[in-house]
Structure formats: C-alpha cells, structure tokens
Amino acid sequence: MANVSFTVPPGACDCHTHIFGNYPMVADRKYTPEPAAPDAMAALHRSLGIERVVIVTPSVYGTDNASTLAGIKVRGSTARGIAVVSEKARSEELESLRDAGIRGIRLNLASSDISDAVVAAARLRWAAEQVADLGWHVQVNTTLDLIAALTDVVSGLSVPIVFDHFGGARAALGVTQPGFADLVKLVSSGRAYVKISGAYHVSKRGPNYPDCLPLARALVAANPDRVLWGSDWPHPNPASKTPLQTTPFQPINDGMIFNQLVTWIPDAAVRDNILVANPARLYNFR
C-alpha cells in the first residue's frame, strides 16, 4: 500500500466500506465475496490515518444488515451504517436500526438491473418516505442516464440523496458525457451529495485512474459541501461469470487511490471539508 502523501485531518471519514462474513447470502446474488472482517477494515484505516467509517450493506445480503451492524458494533462511536430494507419494514425495525448506528438506506438500482425511470422514481419516493422522520438520507447506486431522468424527482424530495461512485459516470467519456451535467446541477443546488469513490468502477486506467480527475474537480467545484470520499473497501468484484463461486477481491491499492485526493482536491481546506465536515453532518457523528 502506498504511503499517504498529505496530512489527514482528525475525524477523517471513509464513507463507503463493506463487511463480509458468515451471513446468509441471497440466491440471486451477482457475486460471492471472500471474508472481509472488521479488524481488516480497521487495519486499512490505521494505515491511512482515517478515524471514522460508514459501512454499507452490500447487495449479496439482500435486506439482511447483520454484517453492517456487526462492523458498527466493533467500531463503536466512530462508525455509522447504511442499511438495505424491505418494503415491508415496519417503523420499529427502522428505529432499531437507527439506535444501532444506521443513518440511511441504500437503493442499489444498478445491482437490481433497474433502468426504467418510472420504476426507479417510485422506489426513490418510497425510500424517502421511510427515512423522512428519522433524519436519514437515501443512498443510490445507479447510472447517469437514470440520474438525468430522475432530476425533477430528486429536486422535489425532502431528504438528502447521495449518489455512489461518481454517479455511475464513465471517466473515459469526460465531463461532457450525457447525464453528467444533470448530476453536477443536483450537487450544485445542494439537492444531492456525490461520492468520489470507487474510481476503478468508472475508470480502466489503474492504478492512479487519472481520467477521474476532471470528473472529481467538476463535482467539487460545483459544491464542495456536497462531496464525500469513500474507499469501497474491500473491492468486491460484481462482474463474476460464476456468481455462486467465491470471487477474489479486486487488487486495489487503497493508499495510492487515497493519495489522488491531493490531485483531485489541491486546496487542503476543501479536502478537509470533504473528509471531515461533510460526513460529520450527513451521518450525524458527534
């Protein structure tokens, strides 16, 4: 792992990791991951100098949030979580998740192969209704095409929306690709957050992913108060051709990607805001 080449501010947060353990997986999953335990996650964060973490329930567990809750329990007050919940979830279940450290729910439209804007809009409105009284947000993994189609819906919601992994942009297509301007507009208006995370999801030019630079800078310039960073550790591989067989994690150098923040965000004060103040506010760290 590459050494971190800048001073990481106290309270810095990795806003997107996963825990994989011995929990039941859904039969129609897209991949089967290796184990990734909380102590391995903690070792990564020590090496990067990161104090806080947001653990996201991955698609392989469906609506079972046991792995995420276990990770939060190990980390205590320095951890928060994002859950996946059933449409049948009752308010008592959501309140229990809140008490355990959950601060939002995730709609993984990409993994669910949802590309119909009408269906996606209905799911998004439903999710917003669930979290409105809890002070949570809705995290969405989708594509720029759907973001463009959902712009008016997102603008009309009363809860924050967070888009994963550069909003599903493709780095090779640059800032003029269809839908990116819509994402920038939502971020600029404050109606949505975006994670400049998982560079390897949007670029094929590892290990530094230099073509992510224009995307990151455009999003930060639009509104630095609505940008988050996440590692996407331990880097599962959803492109497996044998989804029911264990697939090794992708060999990503987390330190090298973390170092790209200096290039993506040259201003140290803005970088500190993205690593500390934004997640502290959104995930209610105290």
Structural domain spans, the chain: 13-282
Q: Which residues of 41-80 are buried (b: 16+ CB within 10 A; e: fewer)?
A: bbebbeebebbbbbbbbbbbbbebbebbbbbbeebeeebb
236: CB partners within 8 A, 6+ apart: 18, 20, 31, 33, 58, 60, 247, 249, 250
Note the pLDDT of residue 2: 66
Does domain 13-282 fall under CATH 3.30.2040.10? My reply is no
What pLDDT, on a 0 to 100 scale, did the predictor assign at position 111? 83
pLDDT computed for residue 238 by the predictor: 82
The whole-number mean pLDDT for each consecutive block of 10 residues of the chain, a chain of 286 residues, reads 85 98 95 96 97 97 97 98 94 96 96 91 96 96 97 96 98 98 98 97 95 98 98 90 92 95 97 98 93
Q: How many CA atoms lie within 13 A of 77 on its CB side?
A: 3
DSSP letter (8 states) at residue 35: P
Give the Cα separation of 71 and 19 in Å (integer).
7
Q: Which residues contact 97 (CB under 8 A, 6 or more apart)?
A: 65, 69, 81, 83, 85
| Joined tokens for residue 271 | 């970088």
